């Protein structure tokens, strides 16, 4: 069985929820304390054994490429200024992985960037994560998926338990538990609502795919909102091969909206050893009574 060494991260979105902040910078470069969102996601992938990070970009996303490149003049400046820790940090960013950049081409939809990566992936299994989902977990989110893939050799989807309200927000998995928080998927229903499903297993942003997903995407018709949806391709794949879902042991920080981004900054601010004491004291003065 081939090891998972590649991850595809779609980062071509326009970030309209954060305008005007994202007019001239990618939403993935918005900071969470002192690092951009995308760096947390790449670091988590690397901890899971990923070596090749494939970023599917679009116009105005050059800042992401620059961030993961060397900046020797900045390193030298920091070193001469006695900021050796900062110099080491920015140098390490470029050494995290082998970075590959692809421009997104094709119809709108989250299936398109995955299909765009076909030439780089070839005949290998690979991971897909989104550019605004940060997981807080002892064991990296991708690693949890990889372990399920290594057992079953099939597509694996990130999942989490949800409530009645969540059935109207997320894709819901109908399936049978096979042990250890792993389910064999029978169907995925997009936002069915609490009355149309008994399941409370929601799909979240992470996948391990076998190369068969590319054929499924090519055969998938343009769907809702005239977009190519990855979930539609998974549903097609499900007719031919088993698909599994893993309840992720961890907490998802969704930075894709303003409230989620603010909550994530608070969470990481409280964990930052340089500022956590002062930040905690500040937050206590702002508690609404």
Q: Each residue of 260-286: pLDDT tens digit?
A: 999 999 999 999 999 999 999 999 998
The pair of three-digit structure tokens given for residue 83, joined into one six-digit string: 């900021």
Q: Domain residue spans in the chain?
A: 6-275
The pair of three-digit structure tokens given for residue 128, joined into one six-digit string: 């897909």
Tell me how far CA of residue 245 lies from CA of 144, 176, 228, 248, 273, in angstroms. Answer: 11, 10, 22, 9, 35
For the chain, what is the mean pLDDT?
Answer: 92
- CA 179, distance to chain mean position in Å, is 25
The pair of three-digit structure tokens given for residue 103, joined into one six-digit string: 């421009």
For residue 90, pLDDT over 70 is answered with: yes
The C-alpha angle 158, 53, 189, rounded to 5 degrees, equals: 25
Residue-level pLDDT at 192: 82
For residue 288, pLDDT over 80 is answered with: no
Give me the sign of the Cα torsion angle 237, 53, 182, 133: negative
For residue 231, pLDDT over 90 is answered with: no
For residue 289, pLDDT over 80 is answered with: no
Tell me how far CA of residue 249 lies from CA of 44, 50, 142, 171, in angstroms. Answer: 14, 19, 11, 19
pTM for the whole structure? 0.92
Q: Each residue of 170-189: pLDDT tens digit?
A: 788 888 999 889 999 988 88
CATH of domain 6-275: 3.90.550.10
Identify any residues that bridge with 101 across adjacent strands, giving them in sequence order.
55
Distance CA 43, CA 97 (A): 9
Distance CA 210, CA 28 (A): 27
Q: What is the DSSP string of 105-159?
A: -SSSSTTHHHHHTHHHH-SS-EEEE-TTEEEE-SS-HHHHHHHHHHHH-SEEEEE
The 3-state DSSP class for residue 23 equals coil
Residue-level pLDDT at 224: 79
More confident residue, 192 or 99: 99
For residue 202, pLDDT over 70 is answered with: yes
The pair of three-digit structure tokens given for residue 29, joined into one six-digit string: 């470069």
Q: Each residue of 54-89: pLDDT tens digit?
A: 999 998 899 999 999 999 999 999 999 999 999 999
Nearest to 64 by CA among 41, 48, 47: 41
């Amino acid at each position: 069985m081939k090891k998972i060494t590649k991850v595809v991260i779609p980062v071509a979105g326009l970030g309209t929820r954060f305008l005007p902040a994202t007019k001239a910078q990618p939403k993935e470069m918005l900071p969470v304390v002192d690092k951009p969102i995308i760096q947390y996601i790449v670091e988590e992938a690397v901890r899971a054994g990923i070596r090749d990070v494939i970023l599917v970009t679009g116009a105005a996303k050059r800042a992401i490429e620059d961030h993961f490149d060397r900046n020797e003049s900045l390193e030298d400046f920091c070193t001469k200024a006695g900021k050796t820790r900062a110099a080491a940090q920015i140098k390490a960013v470029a050494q995290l992985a082998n970075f590959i950049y692809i421009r997104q081409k094709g119809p709108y939809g989250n299936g398109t960037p995955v299909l765009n990566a076909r030439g780089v992936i070839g005949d290998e299994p690979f991971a897909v994560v989104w550019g605004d989902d940060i997981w807080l977990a002892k064991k990296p989110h991708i690693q949890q998926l990889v372990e399920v893939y290594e057992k079953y050799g099939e597509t694996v989807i990130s999942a989490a338990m949800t409530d009645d309200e969540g059935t109207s927000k997320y894709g819901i998995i109908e399936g049978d538990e096979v042990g250890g928080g792993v389910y064999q998927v029978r169907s995925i229903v997009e936002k069915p609502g609490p009355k149309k499903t008994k399941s409370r297993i929601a799909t979240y942003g992470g996948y391990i795919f076998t190369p068969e997903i590319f054929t499924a995407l090519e055969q998938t018709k343009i769907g809702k909102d005239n977009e190519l949806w990855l979930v539609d391709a998974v549903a097609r794949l499900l007719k031919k091969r088993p698909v599994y879902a893993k309840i992720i042991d961890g907490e998802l920080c969704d930075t894709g909206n303003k409230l989620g981004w603010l909550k994530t900054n608070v969470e990481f601010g409280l964990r930052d050893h340089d500022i956590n004491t002062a930040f905690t004291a500040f937050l206590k003065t702002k508690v609404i009574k």
